[in-house]
Amino acid sequence: MFESLTSKLGEVFDRLRRRGALSEADVTEALRAVRVALLEADVALPVVKDFIDAVRTKAVGQEVLRSVTPGQMVVKIVHDHLVQVLGSTAAAIDLKTSPPAPVLMVGLQGSGKTTTTAKLARRLKQRERKKVLMASLDVARPAAQHQLAVLGEQSEVATLPIVPGEPPLAIARRAMTTARLEGYDVVMLDTAGRLHIDDALMAEVTAVRDAVNPVETLLVADAMTGQDAVNVAKAFAGRVGISGIVLTRVDGDARGGAALSMRAVTGQPIKLIGTGEKLDALEDFHPDRIAGRILGMGDVVGLVEKAAETIEREEAEKLAAKMQAGTFDLDDMANQLRQLRKMGGLGGVMGMLPGIGKLKQQMAGANIDDKVIRQQEAIISSMTKKERRNVNLLNASRRKRIAAGSGTSVQLVNRLIKQYQDMSRMMKQVQKLGKSGLMRAGLKGLFGGGGGPGFGGPGFGGPGFGGGQR
């Protein structure tokens, strides 16, 4: 449904096809596509308008470089401006105060405050060796305080003992006193979810703010938020005052326009992003990655880094050794398939790619999806150990048995075997390139560059994608 902006602009400029400076007409035409892309990405309308105006001013009259198309030129200007608005440098959590430093977490219901509280506490403890105390001021949601206590155990961060019936303000004060007495560096205050239009609850959190005077007040917001993001961010910034934003569920496939909306209307930086339910799934915010995603150009940097991060070293080395010895077998292939699936599946990987529109079509055409991967895993698991080690054993009757056992067809079994053979051939080729070359080849294989192993081809196992989700 979302065509890549680059290809959309390509269409616009194919019609114009002209070199020299970008004219007002060119730019206006191009910005129409940019506008739709931003709206589809959930950037709030008033923010879109300001953004377009600013880009128009920047773009008109710019010389189009010889080596690029006007479409690429506009994308570059749009992208750069987007990065600039999102905040060109990563803003760190600032705890500079005499300890204990209070950090207040606020936001709508279900945005991810409690989880993010624990994630941040864990990070401060592990990375900065801070002594952190967490306290839940949520007396509204059933089992909210218990939830934070469990997360405290999981992350080995202390939580303030629960006193049933104690109101939020009193809990906050007790947390600060305890922290002072027991020598904590940081006090993380998780609060109940509240609507920005709920006067009583907004007053409650304002009172907490006044009592503890937080060094950081973080607005926790969902990356999937639509146009309402501006209202929410404005209200929290105006009423409570915020020092930064945490964007959660960036591990989803929402385009994340809310990031731009909230940043633009509050002027506050996005400090962190949540990328999963697990407590280690908290990352620094990189404007360029979100910019690419909002524009629908794919998160190239993110993809490469994710791939690099999640390669399990040992796994990669084992694989390299196996290839050296020529013993890459179907068990190894099953392993690769499993890891690919763990990475978020093809959908997850594809979502991060540039030109997603085209790729998705290709994918649909080749009928490649996670179902296929699961089918392939089933086929391999229906083989005997011996067969998995030596494909040559797989004669017609064995293939029939495997097809029946895995609930697939002989055709699919044949296809898998062919893939395995292509894959081991390719692996022999990349063997010479060493480990880094191996990864590159894996990516290329995975994404099916022209002529190379395409979708459904041998590239699927891109050596060593791993990393769990939960």
Partner 1 sequence: MSDTAPARTGWLARLKAGLAKTTAKLSDGIAQVFVRRRLDARAIEELEEALIAADLGPATAQRLAGGLARLKFDRDVTVDEVRTALAEDVAAILTPVARPLVPDPARKPHVILVVGVNGSGKTTTIGKLAHHFRVGGAKVLLAAGDTFRAAAAEQLKIWGERSGAHVVAREPGADAAALAFDALEQARRDGADVLLIDTAGRLHNKSDLMAELAKLVRVIRKLDATAPHDCLLVLDATIGQNAHQQVETFRELVQVTGLVVTKLDGTAKGGVLVALADRFKLPVHAIGVGETIDDLKPFDAHSFARSLMGLDR
Ligand X SMILES: Nc1nc2c(ncn2[C@@H]2O[C@H](COP(=O)(O)OP(=O)(O)OP(=O)(O)O)[C@@H](O)[C@H]2O)c(=O)[nH]1
351 belongs to the binding site for ligand X (CB under 6 A): no
Between 193 and 456, whose beta carbon lies closer to ligand X?
193
Between 215 and 254, whose beta carbon lies closer to partner 1?
254
Beta bridge partners of 391: none
x-or-dash pattern for partner 1, window 253-292, by CB under 8 A?
xxx-xx------------------x---------------
Helix (H) / strand (E) element for 13: namely helix 5-16
Between 58 and 173, whose beta carbon lies closer to partner 1?
58
Ranges of beta strands (E only) in 138-184 are: 158-159
Q: Sign (positive/negative) of CA torsion 127, 132, 136, 142?
A: positive
Q: Out of 114, 159, 408, 424, which residue is the one contacting Mg ion (CB under 5 A)?
A: 114
Question: What CA–CA distance (Å, rounded) separates 338 from 373?
Answer: 8
Q: β-pairing, 282-284 with 270-274?
A: antiparallel
Question: What CA–CA distance (Å, rounded) separates 49 from 52?
Answer: 5
- Please, what is the minimum distance in Å from the beta carbon of residue 338 to partner 1? 9
123 belongs to the binding site for ligand X (CB under 6 A): no
Residues 189-248 that bind partner 1 (CB under 8 A): 195-197, 222, 224-232, 234
Q: Is 298 exposed, middle or buried (0-12, 13-18, 19+ CB in 10 A)?
A: buried
x-or-dash pattern for partner 1, window 389-428, by CB under 8 A?
----------------------------------------
Beta bridge partners of 218: 105, 244
Between 250 and 320, whose beta carbon lies closer to ligand X?
250
446 belongs to the binding site for ligand X (CB under 6 A): no
Q: What are phi and psi of 169, to 5 degrees?
A: -60, -40
Between 265 and 330, whose beta carbon lies closer to partner 1?
265
Between 79 and 196, whose beta carbon lies closer to ligand X?
196
Q: Out of 81, 113, 289, 399, which residue is the one contacting ligand X (CB under 6 A)?
A: 113
Length of the chain: 470
225 belongs to the binding site for Mg ion (CB under 5 A): no
470 belongs to the binding site for partner 1 (CB under 8 A): yes
For residue 21, give the DSSP letter: B
Residues 210-249 that bind ligand X (CB under 6 A): 248-249
Q: Which residue has the tokens 């430093």?
A: 101
Q: In the β-sheet with 132-136, what is the strand arrangement from edge to edge?
A: 158-159, 132-136, 186-190, 101-106, 216-222, 244-248, 270-274, 282-284
424 belongs to the binding site for ligand X (CB under 6 A): no
6 belongs to the binding site for Mg ion (CB under 5 A): no
Q: How many residues bind ligand X (CB under 6 A)?
A: 22
Q: Is 157 exposed, middle or buried (0-12, 13-18, 19+ CB in 10 A)?
A: buried
Ranges of beta strands (E only) in 53-96 are: none
Give Cβ neighbours of residue 96 (< 8 Å, ≥ 6 apart).
Answer: 215
CB 458, CB 419: distance < 8 Å: yes
Picking from 446, 261, 239, the residue whose alpha carbon sits closest to that of residue 337 is 446
Which one of the spans 111-119, 210-218, 297-305, 439-447 is the region binding ligand X (CB under 6 A)? 111-119
**Partner whose binding site includes residue 154, from partner 1, Mg ion, ligand X, none (CB under 5 to 8 Å by kind):** partner 1
Q: Out of 80, 166, 370, 422, which residue is the one contacting partner 1 (CB under 8 A)?
A: 370
x-or-dash pattern for partner 1, window 64-93, by CB under 8 A?
------------------------------
User: By the criterion CB under 6 A, which residues form the site for ligand X?
Assistant: 107, 109-115, 138, 141, 144, 192-193, 195, 248-249, 251, 274-277, 281
